[in-house]
Amino acid sequence: MNIFEELKARGLIFQTTDEAALIKALTEDSIKFYSGYDPTADSLHLGHLVPILNMRRLQLAGHQPVALVGGATGMIGDPSFKDAERSLQTTETVAAWSAAIKQQLSRFLSFEGENAATVVNNYDWFSQMNILEFLRDVGKHFTINYMMSKESVKKRIETGISYTEFAYQILQGYDFYQLNENYGVTLEIGGSDQWGNMIAGTDLIRKKSGNDTHVITVPLITDSTGKKFGKSEGNAVWLDADKTSPYEFYQFWLNVADADAVKFLKIFTFLSLDEIDDIAKAFEAAPHERLAQKTLAKEVVTLVHGETAYDNAVHISQQLFDGHIKSLSVKDIKTGLSDVPNFTVAADFDGNLVNLLVDAKISPSRRQAREDISNGAIYINGDRQTSLEYVIGDADKLESQLTVIRRGKKKYTIINF
């Protein structure tokens, strides 16, 4: 199975230009290819991971990746299937975000060997151009009719689109031209929403230099309900550990629906298709053991954050599941229980457990609080407490900072001092 066939079998190809010519290029020679990433934040997110992993797959197949950081295009904003204009950022902000993204990309690609990866920034060439050069040397190759025909533009015409974002496709097209001229890049990889912008590049290259180039788009990844994949409770799942912790990242993958788990193993891991087939059979025979999700979480967390981070995420999960709160550090507790209620005690707090349960809204009333304690439903740092006279003391304050109270099996509250 060649690399193109593998990408197809994994569900990683949506559209291409001349498929026969592309297959020939990928199987008969080593080519240079690129994918671009605009710095719209100080981190890439899960939506970027598919093209990044495709770059890695192609590199492993012997092709040379060029990762383009959009230091210039990031200041403009891509209109592709956005409902409104992006907020424009300062040059300094975009430069800082570009540096952060360059560092993230470096974790996934190899920068050594015959097909070592290269990272470039399109600010390097756009910052050297003036408006007259741009209009004369680039703009003249694009007609208004051509630009208006792009789906990304059509969808914004009714609500309004600035010339700034309207011109984005020309900028992206010129990126491909620059990379073709100066780096020998002949293939661009991007998301399916980028098709129009990417074709602008192949057209510009053909008009200016007569070279034939290729495009591959990856499909928009959705879950079994049709929902765009990569959002957790409405928030982006980031690749930066400070924005989405390895534990949260681990939990995200662990909670993938059964209907999606095997599909995502093909897309997001480097396990062979034969290995994934074996996992799928075992998973189908015993879905309650969640082998597919556990494997998915292990592979992706290790890939993005490393083995130590994966081991720590598993450790936190297991200790919380077993109720072994005291075996965790305060940092790990805050990570593992980042989504639970927090309550800060008053300066005159006397330690009375019944009053605390009511004040922190763990129990709805003093009567219910007493019943909860008597019935063994209250746990302090993982230990059941049944004394109605119990007083929270220094021994209950983990690292002198907090106490974890659990009501029942799952209702946690962090008490801060």
Residue 141 burial (CB < 10 Å; 0-12/13-18/19+)? middle
Q: Is 318 annotated as a binding residue?
A: no
Region class of 367: left (phi > 0), else alpha (psi between -120 and 50), else beta: alpha
Residue 215 burial (CB < 10 Å; 0-12/13-18/19+)? buried
Are the CB atoms for 256 and 266 separated by under 8 Å?
Answer: no
Are the CB atoms for 179 and 91 separated by under 8 Å?
Answer: no
Q: Count the helices and strands in the chain (H runs, E runs).
A: 19, 13
Coil, strand, or helix at residue 315?
Answer: helix
Q: Each residue of 238-255: b (16+ CB within 10 Å) or e?
A: bbbbeebbbbbbbbbbbe
- Which two three-digit tokens encode residue 271? 């396990």
CA distance 120 to 69: 6
How long is the chain? 417
Q: Is 231 annotated as a binding residue?
A: yes
Task: List, as residue ranges, the binding site for L-tyrosine.
Answer: 34, 168, 172
Binding residues for ATP: 231
Residues contributing to the annotated binding site? 34, 168, 172, 231
